[in-house]
Structure 1
């Protein structure tokens, strides 16, 4: 096992003229670590800082104000506080988060000045970057260039793509404890924004198939930097690629020495629309709708929460009814 994990930094500069080169770099990273870092992606450090400032203003609000948009088990949108229990740890992640979609309820500008305009602009930037990366991966898998992006069209019915603003509270806990337990992402492609010095993300490579629950004993840190976007493959895309692209386990760990400071991150989860049917080019697995796959995977990761909701609520454009 190497001492360091190769998480390449890939530039999207001059995307159209370099598409073949970029595709090769993206696929090589996706087939191994399942993680990579994007630079020259079109979102400035200033724009990222502004979105983090919006996030921090929200999380600094009193709990009763944040609770005006409570986490909804039917849609998976809204504010949650230490409610996500990972099967890998059996305890709640030490964080709060706010899940949102473009058409979900957002904080008012009175509570968080500039939330709507700033976040909508940030959504649009994430959508543009996702389109480029998904185009490359579609081509590499032998699909039409727009195959994956069209399957995740945020303007179409049954859209499951979400953004999640996350705040890990400063902690004096025992060194090496989990701020977020071992897990994989359920969707297709995650864009993760971090801030300088707020480390803790660790990755464990080596997963062989999208149903593999084994976790190796070696995790590698990915330092947090403002600017580069950490990108990783999710379970849905691993299945869609016949296990060629790897959705590897990762976690957020507290510091080994001294207290762990506040950590803020923003994740943009590209997920196939509910009624889109997914199947890999080699047809290794039976065809399944993205909605059914998402529900199946969510049941595995968060089945302990099913007793809290009514199964009949899983209808229409709702997300699986679990606390995630």
Structure 2
């Protein structure tokens, strides 16, 4: 990465429209960003500021509820890994993340499972919503729909930047993409045991669309042993590449490492990340890149402690079992026993 890059670049989504005069320049910029930092601020996304402010206000109201009202939808009640977690109940690479949060996904009926079904089908099911804040349900479901639309436009831009048709990934998401929305609050450092809000990691989907409130904390690996600060910019999202795009491009696109540090004592940080992935039943293909791009392929980075699979459902289930051991033990102890020999041999 060039040493001059010390902040995230800004991309206007409107420049990728088929009739925009700067479309080719925008695609070239996206290619360069995807080869280096893999993160950028997104403007021109079309989601009104009023909707952004409304969801942020609802998030604040949720975290202000009495603890018993939040625990009414505790994630341990959901075999689908939906609901509320107190700080310290999610893990990254075995270490506690100091944030309280509530997870939502697509609102789908729990399937009738039978012997021989793929284990990832256990992830499909309804959300949990707090009875003390009924306004949250419609706002969350609308946000998931709206930000999915933004994510698909970004995915189509990446597809074209790779010399593909814009809908090249449509066969593996059109039957229902995997969607995960988190509403997260990071308590100030005087309330935590460390500065790890979220440990260093890569995201696992196609793209992540992150809404930040007003307090920073997101840091992106600069490739030289340091971190690039990504402070909030009103009206923008922070977008980054996930491991599915790295897999599909054989490493041409870079899913970069990032982390969140807890805010200073006396304050807190609010963020709302959305993770857009492929259908759980899909298998990620390897794209046939144009010769000029294929010559620059680096191969996929593999972490022996967190192996990547091209089977989407297998990848997602593995991630949820590792991140939420209390839910895994409560609802999926049989899967943990099956995975134990793999973990010991890794």
Q: 2:261 aligns with which of 238, 253, 256?
A: 253
Q: 1:61 to 1:125 in 2, by over 3 A?
A: same
* Larger Rg, first or second structure (1 or 2): 2
* 2-structure distance, mates of 1:160, 1:74: 16
Q: 2:42 aligns with which of 17, 38, 45?
A: 38
- The answer on 1:76 being equivalent to 2:81 is yes
- The residue aligned with 1:151 is 172
* 2-structure distance, mates of 1:67, 1:174: 20
* 2-structure distance, mates of 1:84, 1:280: 32
Greater helix share, 1 or 2? 2
Shifted more, 264-273 versus 15-24: the winner is 15-24
Structure 1 length-normalised TM: 0.80
Structure 2 length-normalised TM: 0.75
RMSD over aligned CA atoms reads 3.0
- The answer on 1:219 being equivalent to 2:227 is yes
- The answer on 1:203 being equivalent to 2:220 is yes
- The answer on 1:278 being equivalent to 2:284 is yes
Structure 1: gaps of 5 or more residues = 207-215, 315-324
Q: 1:178 to 1:244 in 2, by over 3 A?
A: same
Q: 1:71 to 1:176 in 2, by over 3 A?
A: closer
- The residue aligned with 1:105 is 127
Question: Could you report, residue by residue, the CA deviation over 1:127-149 in whole angstroms, capped at 9, with x for unpaired residues?
Answer: 22112111111223344322335
Q: What's the CA shift for 1:167?
A: 0.7
The number of residue pairs the alignment matches comes to 295
Q: 1:128 to 1:174 in 2, by over 3 A?
A: closer
Q: What's the CA shift for 1:113?
A: 4.4
* 2-structure distance, mates of 1:58, 1:93: 20
SS in 1 for 2:208: strand
Contact 1:152-1:272 within 8 A present in 2 as well: yes
- The residue aligned with 1:64 is 68
* 1-structure distance, mates of 2:243, 2:170: 16
Q: What's the CA shift for 1:121?
A: 2.4
Q: What's the CA shift for 1:282?
A: 4.7
Q: 1:260 to 1:8 in 2, by over 3 A?
A: farther
For residues 1-324 of structure 1, the aligned pairs below 5 Å read 2=3, 4-13=5-14, 15-18=17-20, 19-72=23-76, 74-82=79-87, 83-87=89-93, 90-103=94-107, 104-107=126-129, 111-153=132-174, 156=175, 159-172=177-190, 177-196=195-214, 198-206=215-223, 217-255=225-263, 259=265, 261-282=267-288, 288-296=310-318, 302=323, 310=332, 312=334
Structure 2: gaps of 5 or more residues = 108-125, 290-298, 301-307, 337-346
Contact 1:12-1:39 within 8 A present in 2 as well: yes
Contact 2:211-2:237 within 8 A present in 1 as well: yes
